[in-house]
Amino acid sequence: MKNYILILLILCLISVRFSAKASLMVDGIKTESIKQANADIKKGKPKFLIQGGIASIRIKGQELFEQKYGVVYQDLGCVGPSAIRIEDYNKVVASFMDKKYGKAWRKEVRKDVKGI
């Protein structure tokens, strides 16, 4: 019985440690996403990241949005980046757009942009 309790205790400790490590990793990805979005904005190259399919999709008229607001759509295909979370990145860009243009741009943005 003592061995059974000891094994359960060890498994619980391993689980807690793994969970904490996974949480830190997710926080690191969020931080990196925010940092990358701010760096792109600072360089004057903001973009909205899109998780697409096998082939990139261009929606008729999207170039008008890109020209009007100075932000481009970047379709990452079916395999997104592992070091950036699209939603966190796009939230930073959306906040920048709100400050610069107000909220009117939100009616014109592609509907497949996640995180805004």
20-71 residue pLDDT tens: 444 445 589 999 999 999 999 999 999 999 998 888 888 999 999 999 999 9
pLDDT at 5 over 80: no
pTM, whole model, 2 decimals?
0.75
pLDDT at 12 over 70: no
Tokens of 45: 């190259």
pLDDT at 74: 94
pLDDT at 115 over 60: yes
HEC profile for the chain?
A: CHHHHHHHHHHHHHHHHHHHHHHHHHHHHHHHHHHHHHHHHHCCCCEEEECCCCCCCCCCCHHHHHHHHCCEEEECCCCCCCCCCHHHHHHHHHHHHHHHHCCHHHHCCCCCCCCC
56-114 residue pLDDT tens: 888 999 999 999 999 999 998 887 777 899 999 999 999 999 999 999 999 999 999 99
